[in-house]
Every structure is written in C-alpha cells, then in structure tokens.
Amino acid sequence: MSVATLKGTFDSFPLPDVLRLVAASKETGLLQVDSPTLGGRIFVVDGQITYATTRSDDQLIDDLARMEHISEEEREAIERRAVQLEDVLSSRAAVLGIFFGYQVTEVLVRLLTLVDGSFSFDVGVMTKHQTAYRVDVEAALEAAAVRSAEWEKIHKIIPGVDTSFRMAPVIDDEITIDPNRWAILAALATARTPREIAVALKIFEFDAAKRLAELATSGLIVVEERRSEPVVIVEGVPEHRPETASEEQEPTSEEQEMTSKEAAELLGSFIALTDRPEEEQAELEEAPEEQAPEEQAPEEQAPEEQAPEEQASEEQAPEEQDEEEEDVDLARRWRRLRKDHRSIEG
C-alpha cells in the first residue's frame, strides 16, 4: 500500500501498524484519525512524530501559555505571525522534550483505545506551528503503552479527571508530605478535580491525577460525594417541577388578559365611584338588588294597602326621584364592575 493513498479502517488495519508503515516510508504529512467518539491528528516529518492532538492547532499555543512555557508577549507575537514558535522554543530543549513528549503520549493513549474508526494520510500537510521536536514511532508507542498501564492503576482510585476530592476528616497515622503532594493539598481549597488542579498548578492532568491517587491511598483525601436531586423527564423536558399555588400561570384562551383600553375604562369607573362621599358609597354597597321595583319581595305591601302617611312619604319631588334612580344605577354598575373584575382575576 502506497503511503500517498493510505486509507482504511481500524478493524482491518490497527493504528500501530499504520504508524509503523508511515515511519518506514519516511514521509511527511498528516495522519487523520476519525471515530464516532474521538478524532485526532498525528503530524509526522520524515517518518517521525512531531505533534499529535485531538483538538485544534491553536490550542497548542494556549496550553504552552497556560503552563507558562511561553510568555503572553511571546504568545501574542506568535499569533501575529511576527515570530515562529520554533524560534521561541529553540533554546528551550526541556520544554520540547517534556511538553511535547507528554502531549504526543497522551494523545496516543486515547487514540490507541479506538476499536471502530477510520484513518487517512495526507502527504505534505504540516502543523500550523512548526517545532524541532521529533520522536521515533516505536518509542512513542512504547511510552503510550507505559502511560496506559499507569492510567489503569489511577482509574482504580479515580474514575475520571472530573472526580471531586476533599480533605479526609480524620488521619490515623503520621504522614510525611513532599512538596509536590503539599501543593496538591493546598490547591484543594479552590480546586477539587484533577482537571481543575492541573489548571491551577499549571501541570498535566496525568500528574494531577497521579498525585491525587497517591494522597487518596495514604488516607489524606477522600472522594467527595455529590448528591443530586433526581431529574424527571417529561415529554423531552429535562426537569419538571409540579405547579404550585404560588406560581403565576399564563391566562388561558378563556381568560385572556385585559387590553390597555379596557383596563383604563375599568380604572376610570372605579375612580368615578370612589370620588363620591364615603357614606354614599357605603349606602351603595349595602343597597340590595331587591330594591329594584321589579324585584320586590312578596311580603311588601302594594301601594293601595299602605297607610296615608307612608304614601305621602314616598311621594317625592322629581329631582329626588332622579337622584335615587341614579344611585340605584350606580349601585348596579358597581356590582357589575366588581363581578367583572373578580372574573378577570380568577
């Protein structure tokens, strides 16, 4: 198989064999790895691995700056293309050996676990940020195998890099703590997980997880149990809370909100009524509907049965009769407005 047309799936051609074929060809290019759960890129120069990542190339600069391998001024200069990363790191052999070695090893550990997936090799494709780092394929595969075994031991104590820890409430024996472990314990005040501690201490996640596992084994820290309320899935909604009486509900089609004009008219009616004297309002509110002529009770006497003095008292001037009719009409309006207002509020 020609490297220029190297393409296939892992079930027929495992990733280690693909890397060995690329190394034997001494080609320069990009080995692209794709799977349903993870994707990665391995850059090779003359058959040797120069960089590997499961993210974008620009995050390499972010990681170098986060771990203070380059300054912010150098980072800005690299992003402006005023200087090359290779030139910045030319005098920092330790950074090349440690940082890029860890990076390549961790990526290979993850990619080598893939069972389902595909690969393709693009000749001549280079990484965005060139460096002088090179590692032999066999040495990289061996380092990945060792790292994978170490991760298996760590995972027996720490399920993942997002597992939270806290200080143990009681320590039985006297324990000597070296500076590296002490830094981890001090970081637990603000960081709880291997991922958070790696960011806080500017170290690799593997180193943070390894030290946390050692501290957990010695009894200095324990896994922090986080209790979470059960989530009820209702028709695709991740969380459903039962409705309570205190919660406001949207009006239904039968209970539409009042328009601004209707609200203004209702408010104006209330103001007109409240402008009347208090004693008159009290009389209106207490006025029973039976006072209307058509709703008189049976026991009330007919006009012909009333005494002369009662008949005389009922004979009033036209002005007084008009005022009484107006009061009755206002009472009816008041009751109707209150009834409408209650129906709207209900």
Nearest CA to 217 out of 274, 281, 153, 260 is that of 153
pTM: predicted TM-score of the whole model, two decimal places: 0.60
- Give how far Cα 208 sits from Cα of 36, 162, 217, 334, Å: 28, 11, 14, 76
DSSP secondary structure string for all residues of 221-251: EEEPP---PPPPPBTTBS------TTS----
pLDDT at residue 258, as a whole number: 44
- 158: which 2 tokens? 């720490």
Pairing of strands 7-9, 118-123: antiparallel
pLDDT at residue 248, as a whole number: 41
pLDDT by 10s per residue, the chain, length 346: 556 668 999 888 899 999 999 999 999 999 999 999 899 999 999 999 999 998 876 688 888 888 889 999 999 999 888 999 989 888 888 877 889 999 999 999 999 998 889 999 999 999 888 888 999 999 999 999 999 999 999 999 999 999 999 998 887 777 788 888 899 999 998 999 999 999 999 999 999 999 999 999 988 999 887 644 444 433 433 343 333 333 444 444 444 444 444 444 544 444 444 444 545 545 544 544 444 444 444 444 444 545 544 454 444 455 556 556 655 565 666 566 656 555 555 5
pLDDT at residue 150, as a whole number: 97
Which domains, ranges and CATH numbers included, belong to the chain?
3-151 (no CATH), 165-223 (1.10.10), 260-291+314-345 (no CATH)
Distance in angstroms (rounded) separating the CA atoms of residues 298 and 285: 23
Nearest CA to 161 out of 212, 110, 222 is that of 212
pLDDT at residue 322, as a whole number: 59
Distance in angstroms (rounded) separating the CA atoms of residues 209 and 215: 10
pLDDT at residue 35, as a whole number: 92
pLDDT at residue 95, as a whole number: 79
pLDDT at residue 171, as a whole number: 79
Residue 296 has φ and ψ, to the nearest 5°, of -70, 145
Q: Map tokens 């958070």 to a residue.
A: 196
For the range 91-99, what are the long-range contacts, defined as Cβ-Cβ under 8 Å and sequence gap of 24 or more?
Answer: 95/64, 95/69, 96/131, 96/132, 96/133, 97/133, 99/63, 99/64, 99/67, 99/69
Other CB atoms within 10 A of residue 125 CB: 14
Distance in angstroms (rounded) separating the CA atoms of residues 54 and 32: 10
Distance in angstroms (rounded) separating the CA atoms of residues 35 and 223: 32
pLDDT at residue 196, as a whole number: 94
Residue 163 has φ and ψ, to the nearest 5°, of -75, 130
